[in-house]
Amino acid sequence: MTEVIKRLKAIVGDRFVSAEPEERYLYSMDQGTMPPAEPDMVVMPGSTEEVSEIMRLANEYQVPVVPMGGGLVLSGLTRALKGGMILDMKRMNRITEVNPKSRYAVVEGGTSQGMLQAYLKKHHPELKHSMPDAPPIATLAGNVCIHGSGHLSVLGGFHSDMLTGMEVVLPTGEIVRTGSCSVSADWFGKAPLPDLSGLFMGWSGTTGIVTRLGIKLFPNYRHNDLLIFVTEDPRDMPDVIARLTSTQVAEDMTPWMTPKPEWARGFMHINIAYGAHSKEELTFKRNLLQISVKDYIDNKSGGFLPMPPPQKGRFMQLPSPDLARFADVRKGGGFEYVGAIMAIEHFPEAYQAGVRIAEKHDVSYSMGARIVGAGHAMMFFYAYAFNRADPEDMARAQHALEETNSAALDMGGIPWKAELPAQQKIIEKMAPETFALMNRIRHTLDPNHIMNPGNWERA
Amino acid sequence: MEAIQFDPEICNQCETVDCLMKCQYIDFRDVAEAKTEKLKINAGEHSRVLDECLTCYACQEYCPYDNNPFYLLVERQEQLGLLPAPRPIVAEQLKMMGPRGRIQKETVSTPVVNMCAFPMLTGCVRGTLFDGASVIVGTDIFCNIMWLHFAKNSAIKERVPQMIDNIMTYYLKDAGVEEMICFHDECYGTYTSVAPAYGIEVPFKPVHLFDYINHRLDELADRITPLNVKIAYQRPCSNRLIPQTDLVLDEIFEKIGADRVPRKYDRENTLCCGGVPRAQQRDNLADELVANNIRDMQAVGASYCVFNCPFCMATLGQEAAENGLMPILVSDLVQMALGE
Amino acid sequence: MKHEEILHRCFRCGYCKLPSNYTDINCPAYQAFRFETYSPGGRMWLLRAWLNNEISNSRRFSEIMFSCATCGNCVEQCAFPNFKDLLLEAFAAGKEAFLDAGQVPAPVRDYLTKVQLHGNPYGKPGKKRPEWAADLDIPVYSDQDHLFFVDDVGAFDTRGQEIARSVAKMLQQAGISFGIGSGEEVSDGNDVHEMGETPLFEELAGKNIEAFNQKGVQKIITLSPHSLHAIKNYYPALGGNYQTAHYTQILAFSLGSLKFQSNGNNQRITFHDPCYLGRRNWDYQSPRMLLKALPDVHVLEMDRNQKNAFCCGGGGGNFFTDLLSAEADSPGRVRVREAAQTGAEILAVACPLCAGMLEDAVKVESLEGRLQVREITEIMAEYL
């Protein structure tokens, strides 16, 4: 390892390689419940070429490489399960292009969501990108690679759907491009080429390292508003969601159900965010949304929360620090969630399963969902808070998470950015031919099996 | 629980039916039609009024006989299960505004100012105007008058006595304080109008904020620098229950040099701020009310839009500010005149 | 360790790394080193691991702790209102524990030793403290309204002395009645406090309080925002109660006594908020009022200003210990690049430490031709 460290220092500079106990300790875990796994070293590359050199070196010494963005995945995907090096990408945070006419941005692999948001606000106030609910230091590349979603997902689908192209360093060190940028100077999209981007999304860092990516931008409206629909019956939710999405007006729709504060227990809420260029257009859009669920309003079984304008600001903050604050529910700095991607008609059973599991394991929970596309799917999340200083409490959350993963799979959903145990469960359910194909592709790309080993493997 | 104080005889003999004929939101062909609808309400039958009512409280003020037409109307809405707002909205609000049981005894001294369920506004009680004031606040002393908007006077009957008990037990009794200043019209309306109408006993003396301020301004006369500003006042619905206090407000405005510019939608012709219709899922009407209010305030050349109700201010404030009217609470305006 | 009960409550969500507008990394140590360990959350988790015997108190660990510039960005941005105010106190407690264990970086040890021996980190005798004012007609404090307290940098650093003189002259110009110490006073102790060296801080503060009280001082004007912080916020607990203000605050109140005239320069100026005046003591306006009072001056704001200002890297003792020097990523260099981007010709400062840090950075960045670092009263003097 001494030799590897020496050569890594020659590639990225002394300051950006560490094999010290402090970095090895902190990079061995994330905020979730997965047990620590210590890397031998942490490296912070500054350029694609450096990443490429690092990969060649890693192959030479057969050292595992775990790419990491914001390190906020919560499900332990950036742990060095087989040792080796963690590649912290956050030094590569330049925004290299914004195309206002074709509405895309090209950013380096370590660029944070917050930084792109700030950049657009300053230089292109007419544009925005879809912010996930993760804290602003989360990276675009990390989020796209896990099929994340965000506040424009009703409009534009998963963040992986918003990807327009990638520059990737393969496990063997070659630098490749996917999408239009492999043929043209423009990063407008993945069509009409074979979609090689799929080789890198959803693989939990086992197929390559994204060093640059293009992402779709959307109009940033001057006027923005939020409605919150409320009902007491989870069985109404799929229909309500279908009606609301049918208007093609919302940018974001996020149902939420929480037992705390106590007043919210038992109520289903759906936050519906939308925007417009003028106040008249905004009112028109609001009316479309309200008319879509008129039947529920007329029979008094559901309706929109009355909210004066000053109260809405809190719900419209992007991202909202309230989500991180869930970690302090048990005064313990931790939470993890199962985000199950599933069909929307499963909403009622998904909700009931969540209540059942949380009560069984006595965990503090919060549930919700993000609607993706015009009602095409949803990411239904079950978040469990735990006290990091209380191993029993952490274990409770872990058991609840495991059981939730099984429940989600049973109802036809698929755990998102799955932890190691959940990956196993998915593999068990996966068509064997599909898993075999995954392995063949992986072996072709990574013959020495050094990319985030331990993930997507049969136990 | 006692029935609402209402005399059907008086109502039956009424020839003008002001309660309905003056309504700004429901139209009647003639007095006869209004009378017919009113009699249906009195008899406990369904009337379209029960569906269409905006719950603006105005009929309480319009009735020349103080015969509680609005309280009766709400009673009937609840009896017939005619919720003005969707069930989950009402149910969630009921839980949200319910007593938390977190109240603790506090040593208070006069003046005791009740800020009701608005902890975010306790900062208003400051300076010379409120010298030495004790502030009490929280959902455990919430006046609960808002349920008149939601056909839930059962909640009023159930919760108001509990709140009164809390106020006495946790604050006033031990301190030997007999008066309580109601910062909001809602509270004063609850204790001086709703409570007697519902037969609820109030063991303390409620003092309206305006009476308190008016009196203080006499004591602080030498500190007043007249503001010399034109203001538009947004009279809240709950002031309909206690119209005598609106005259006190006139005295206050005069003392601080604020010219309450006569506008179309003030006094008895006050137009709803637009907040409650949103709960009733009538957003287009709410938009109209907001726009009409703002247009009216602009038309008279007001530079301040003055509120006493925090909910009115939350509903209209931003729109007012965007249209060049400075939104401000009465107490803050008075403090400006006191140089604070 | 004090506040150890909050360590595990940090989620490491990373809001602390950024300003509220997310433009760029806003934690000086994290900006310089970029490893998670150097972020506020990293420190929280490492301290907890150390208390749990999962890691030991190494040299690197102590550098991680002492490289914190105590700028307060983490406190400002932390998502957790229930314990955010305790973050810097927890770090100070961590540093104190490191000091107790004898595990501190050499420059920190040297700094503290010099302050211990001499009452200042320059190793100069106390009687030389007032020398910065030798050529000025300023009385030693007797019965004037204010004591003008000049920190170690103002007293002993060549550039700091220039700034002290400029500020003193401006105070005179504004008709402020003040005198200076005669050398009994010692370091304000602020940075010693932030380094967790509590006994030494108490000793220094005790000496100053004794000196102030003997002279009957009631009102203090400080040159350095660091002195302001210590005297205003830490001295009262040790029996030192004074009306304390930073010189920009006194001057902002005395603007009426200063008559400015246009000098035809039409200068474009950007202002760098000192952490200890701004985020740590919530005054963002006094220095801006001074600049905006100057005729034909254009005050330009950097993306990160006021509560979002990016620290020069000199706080928490780093002005002396230099643990944050990190080539192109050092906070000072990042900050002067940001200042230059505004198109300003002058980077105005209101703290002798900021002046030193940023002037060095301008040189290293070869920005001398484009950007000049000036202390606020130096700029004001050109308009009188």
CA atoms within 13 A on the CB side of B86: 27
Measured CA to CA in angstroms, residue C100 lies from C8, C103, C109 at distances of 22, 8, 12
Amino acid at C381: A
C neighbour chains, 3+ CB pairs within 8 Å: A
Q: Is the pLDDT of residue A56 over 70?
A: yes
In this complex, do B86 and A307 lie within 8 Å of one another by their Cβ atoms? Answer: no
Q: Which residues of A touch C326 (CB under 8 A)?
A: 15
Beta strands in chain C (DSSP E): 146-149, 178-180, 219-222, 243-246, 268-271, 298-300, 346-349, 372-375
Chains A, C: CB pairs < 8 Å: 112
Q: Which residues of B touch A265 (CB under 8 A)?
A: 95
Q: Which residues of A touch B283 (CB under 8 A)?
A: 286-287, 290, 304
In this complex, do B279 and A306 lie within 8 Å of one another by their Cβ atoms? Answer: yes
A292 interfacial to chain B (CB closer than 8 Å): no
A296 interfacial to chain B (CB closer than 8 Å): yes
A114 interfacial to chain C (CB closer than 8 Å): yes
Nearest by CB to residue A117, choosing from C15, C22, C49, is C22
Q: Is the pLDDT of residue C67 over 60?
A: yes
In this complex, do B86 and A300 lie within 8 Å of one another by their Cβ atoms? Answer: yes
A44 interfacial to chain C (CB closer than 8 Å): yes
Report DSSP state, residue A214. E
In this complex, do A310 and B318 lie within 8 Å of one another by their Cβ atoms? Answer: yes
In this complex, do A306 and B275 lie within 8 Å of one another by their Cβ atoms? Answer: yes
In this complex, do C37 and A334 lie within 8 Å of one another by their Cβ atoms? Answer: no
- Per-residue confidence (pLDDT) for residue A1, from 0 to 100: 83
Choose the mutation target among C37, C55, C310, C325 for the interface with A, i.e. most A CBs under 10 Å.
Answer: C37
Angle A217-A219-A221 from CA coordinates, rounded to 5°: 140
Contact between A384 and A401 under an 8 Å Cβ cutoff? The reply is yes
Q: Do the strands C219-222 and A377-387 form a parallel or antiparallel pair, or are they unpaired?
A: unpaired
Alpha-carbon gap: C277 to the closest alpha carbon of chain A (Å): 26
Q: Does chain A touch chain C (at least 3 C-beta pairs within 8 Å)?
A: yes
Nearest by CB to residue A232, choosing from B91, B279, B315, is B91
- Per-residue confidence (pLDDT) for residue C345, from 0 to 100: 97
For residue A67, is the peptide bond before it cis, meaning its omega torsion is within 30 degrees of 0? Answer: no
Neighbours of A392 (CB within 10 A): 9
Could you tell me the two tokens for C376? Answer: 């606020």
Radius of gyration of chain A (CA): 22
Alpha-carbon gap: A293 to the closest alpha carbon of chain C (Å): 36
Q: Which residues of C touch A121 (CB under 8 A)?
A: 21
Q: How far apart are CA A339 and CA A106, in angstroms?
A: 28
Contact between A37 and A28 under an 8 Å Cβ cutoff? The reply is yes
Q: How far apart are CA A419 and CA A81, in angstroms?
A: 12
Amino acid at C89: E
pLDDT digits (tens, 9 = 90+) for B217-272: 999 999 999 999 999 999 999 999 999 999 999 999 999 999 999 999 999 999 99
Q: Does chain C touch chain B (at least 3 C-beta pairs within 8 Å)?
A: no
Q: How far apart are CA A4 and CA C309, in angstroms?
A: 39
Q: How far apart are CA B137 and CA B140, in angstroms?
A: 8
Nearest by CB to residue C79, choosing from A70, A114, A325, is A325
Angle B128-B132-B133 from CA coordinates, rounded to 5°: 100
Q: Which residues of B touch A286 (CB under 8 A)?
A: 283
Could you tell me the pLDDT band of residue C276, with boundaries at 50, 70 and 90? very high
Could you tell me the two tokens for A427? Answer: 């593999």
A119 interfacial to chain B (CB closer than 8 Å): no
Chain A: residue nearest B283 by CA?
Answer: A287
Q: How far apart are CA A67 and CA C259, in angstroms?
A: 61
Alpha-carbon gap: A438 to the closest alpha carbon of chain C (Å): 33
- Its pTM surpasses 0.85: yes
pLDDT digits (tens, 9 = 90+) for A5-17: 999 999 999 999 9
Choose the mutation target among A8, A14, A22 for the interface with C, i.e. most C CBs under 10 Å.
Answer: A22
Contact between A452 and A66 under an 8 Å Cβ cutoff? The reply is yes
Neighbours of B339 (CB within 10 A): 10
Q: How far apart are CA A129 and CA A215, in angstroms?
A: 8
Could you tell me the two tokens for C93? Answer: 């407690």
Report DSSP state, residue C142. S
C303 interfacial to chain A (CB closer than 8 Å): yes
Chain B: residue nearest A233 by CA?
Answer: B88
Q: Do the strands C219-222 and C243-246 form a parallel or antiparallel pair, or are they unpaired?
A: parallel
Chain A: residue nearest C12 by CA?
Answer: A31
Contact between A136 and A113 under an 8 Å Cβ cutoff? The reply is yes
Beta strands in A183-295 (DSSP E): 209-216, 218-219, 223-231, 252-257, 268-276
In this complex, do B89 and A232 lie within 8 Å of one another by their Cβ atoms? Answer: no
User: How many angstroms from the chain centroid is the CA of residue B237?
Assistant: 5
Helices (H), chain B: 8-13, 18-21, 31-42, 48-52, 58-62, 69-79, 87-96, 153-166, 173-175, 185-189, 195-198, 209-219, 244-256, 275-279, 283-299, 310-322, 330-337
In this complex, do A287 and B283 lie within 8 Å of one another by their Cβ atoms? Answer: yes
C135 interfacial to chain A (CB closer than 8 Å): no
**Coil, helix or strand at residue B57:** coil
Contact between A300 and B82 under an 8 Å Cβ cutoff? The reply is no
Neighbour-count burial for A310-346, b at 16+ CB within 10 Å, e otherwise? eebeebeebbbbebbbbbbbbbbbbbbbbbbbbebbb
Q: Which residues of A touch B315 (CB under 8 A)?
A: 308-309
Reduced 3-state DSSP string for C194-208: HCCCHHHHHHHHHHH
In this complex, do B88 and A301 lie within 8 Å of one another by their Cβ atoms? Answer: yes
Q: Which residues pair with A214 in a beta bridge?
A: A106, A165
DSSP secondary structure of C52-70: TTSS---HHHHHHHHT---
A31 interfacial to chain C (CB closer than 8 Å): yes
In chain B, which residues touch A (CB < 8 A)? 83, 85-89, 91-92, 95-96, 98, 275-276, 278-279, 281, 283-284, 287, 311, 314-315, 317-319
Reduced 3-state DSSP string for C68-92: CCCCCHHHHHCCCCCCHHHHHHHHH
Angle B235-B236-B239 from CA coordinates, rounded to 5°: 90
In this complex, do C34 and A91 lie within 8 Å of one another by their Cβ atoms? Answer: yes
Q: How far apart are CA C221 and CA A6, in angstroms?
A: 53
Amino acid at C32: A
Q: Do the strands C219-222 and C146-149 form a parallel or antiparallel pair, or are they unpaired?
A: parallel
pLDDT digits (tens, 9 = 90+) for B14-50: 999 999 999 999 999 999 999 999 999 999 999 999 9
Q: How far apart are CA B197 and CA C116, in angstroms?
A: 77
The residues near C261 (Cβ < 8 Å, ≥ 6 apart) are C295, C383, C384
Could you tell me the pLDDT band of residue C362, with boundaries at 50, 70 and 90? very high
Q: Which residues of A touch B86 (CB under 8 A)?
A: 230, 296-297, 300-303
DSSP secondary structure of A70-133: SS--SSSTTS-TT-SEEEEGGG---EEEEETTTTEEEEETT-BHHHHHHHHHHH-TTEE----S
Q: How far apart are CA B197 and CA B66, in angstroms?
A: 10
Helices (H), C106-237: 106-118, 152-156, 158-173, 190-194, 198-215, 225-229
A neighbour chains, 3+ CB pairs within 8 Å: B, C
Q: Which residues pair with B328 in a beta bridge?
A: B306
Q: Is the pLDDT of residue B1 over 60?
A: no
Report DSSP state, residue A323. H
Chain A: residue nearest C81 by CA?
Answer: A325
pLDDT digits (tens, 9 = 90+) for B56-115: 999 999 999 999 999 999 999 999 999 999 999 999 999 999 999 889 999 999 999 999
Q: Which helix (H) or strand (E) is A297 found in, with range?
A: helix A294-298
How many distinct helices (H) and strands (E) make up chain B? 17, 8
Q: Distance from first CA to last CA of chain A, Å, rounded?
A: 27
Percent of chain C past pLDDT 70, that is, above it, reads 100
Long-range contacts of B100-104 (CB under 8 A, 24+ apart): B100/B138, B100/B139, B100/B140, B101/B140, B102/B138, B102/B140, B103/B138, B103/B140, B103/B141, B103/B166, B103/B170, B104/B170
pLDDT digits (tens, 9 = 90+) for C335-355: 999 999 999 999 999 999 999
Amino acid at C69: A
pLDDT digits (tens, 9 = 90+) for C320-340: 999 998 789 999 999 999 999
Q: Which residues of B touch A306 (CB under 8 A)?
A: 85, 89, 275-276, 278-279
Q: What are phi and psi of B70, to 5 degrees?
A: -70, -45
Could you tell me the two tokens for B101? Answer: 């049981």
Residues 330-359 of A with CB under 8 A from C: 331-335
B neighbour chains, 3+ CB pairs within 8 Å: A
Q: Which residues of B touch A303 (CB under 8 A)?
A: 85-86, 88-89, 281
Choose the mutation target among B50, B55, B92 for the interface with A, i.e. most A CBs under 10 Å.
Answer: B92
- Per-residue confidence (pLDDT) for residue C331, from 0 to 100: 97
Residues 329-368 of C with CB under 8 A from A: none
A76 interfacial to chain C (CB closer than 8 Å): no
Beta strands in A373-415 (DSSP E): 377-387, 414-415
Q: Which residues of A touch B276 (CB under 8 A)?
A: 306
Alpha-carbon gap: A88 to the closest alpha carbon of chain C (Å): 8
pLDDT digits (tens, 9 = 90+) for C114-165: 999 999 999 999 999 999 999 999 999 999 999 999 999 999 999 999 999 9
User: How many angstroms from the chain centroid is the CA of residue C194?
Assistant: 11
Q: How far apart are CA A369 and CA A377, in angstroms?
A: 10
Cα-based torsion angle of the residue sequence C48, C49, C51, C53 in order, rounded to the nearest 10 degrees: 170
Q: How far apart are CA B248 and CA B266, in angstroms?
A: 15
Could you tell me the pLDDT band of residue B4, with boundaries at 50, 70 and 90? confident
**Coil, helix or strand at residue C6:** helix
